[in-house]
A and B are shown apart, each in its own frame.
Chain A
Amino acid sequence: NAGVTQTPKFRVLKTGQSMTLLCAQDMNHEYMYWYRQDPGMGLRLIHYSVGEGTTAKGEVPDGYNVSRLKKQNFLLGLESAAPSQTSVYFCASSYSGGLAGELFFGEGSRLTVL
Chain B
Amino acid sequence: GQQVMQIPQYQHVQEGEDFTTYCNSSTTLSNIQWYKQRPGGHPVFLIQLVKSGEVKKQKRLTFQFGEAKKNSSLHITATQTTDVGTYFCSSNAGNMLTFGGGTRLMVKP
Q: Point out residues on A near B: beta carbons under 8 Å.
A: 31, 33, 35, 40-45, 48, 50, 56, 58-59, 90, 92, 94, 97-99, 101-108
* CB nearest to B47 among chain A residues: A102
A32 CB to closest chain B CB (Å) equals 11
Known A42-B101, A99-B50: A107·B95 in contact at CB below 8 Å = no
Q: Name the A residues within 8 Å of B41 (CB-CB).
A: 107
Contact assessment for B96 and A43 in the assembled complex, using a CB-CB cutoff below 8 Å? no
By the criterion CB–CB under 8 Å, are B100 and A42 in contact?
A: yes
A48–B101 touching, CB < 8 Å: no
Pick the contact of B95: A35, A41, A42, A50 (CB < 8 A).
A50
Most buried by B among A58, A59, A107: A59
Q: Can you offer 16 A-B residue contacts whose CB atoms are under 8 A?
A: A40-B9, A42-B2, A42-B99, A42-B102, A50-B95, A59-B2, A59-B98, A90-B42, A98-B30, A98-B92, A99-B50, A99-B92, A102-B33, A103-B97, A107-B41, A108-B42
What's the tally of chain B residues with a CB closer than 8 Å to chain A?
27
Give Cα A106 to B102, complex, Å.
18
Are the CB atoms of B42 and A107 closer together than 8 Å? yes
Contact B99 A48 (CB under 8 A): no
Q: Given A40-B9, A99-B92, do A45 and B42 touch, yes or no (CB 8 Å)?
A: no
CB-CB < 8 A to B94: which residues of A?
A: 97
| 0/1 string, B26-48, CB within 8 A of A gives 1 | 00001101010000011111001
Which residue of chain B has its CB nearest to the CB of A108?
B42
* B92 & A58 in contact (Cβ 8 Å cutoff): no
Chain A residues within 8 Å of B95, by CB: 31, 48, 50, 56, 97-98
> By the criterion CB–CB under 8 Å, are A97 and B42 in contact?
no
Is B65 at the interface (CB under 8 A from chain A)?
no
Kindly state whether residue B63 has any CB partner on chain A within 8 Å: no
- CB contacts (< 8 Å) of B30 on chain A: these are 98-99
- 1/0 per position for B76-109, CB-CB distance to A under 8 A? 0000000000001010101111111110000000
Minimum C-beta distance from A103 to chain B (A) = 6
Not counting A59-B98, A98-B95, A103-B35, a sample of 9 additional A-B residue pairs whose C-beta atoms are within 8 angstroms of each other reads A35-B99, A40-B9, A45-B96, A94-B97, A99-B92, A101-B92, A103-B90, A105-B44, A106-B42
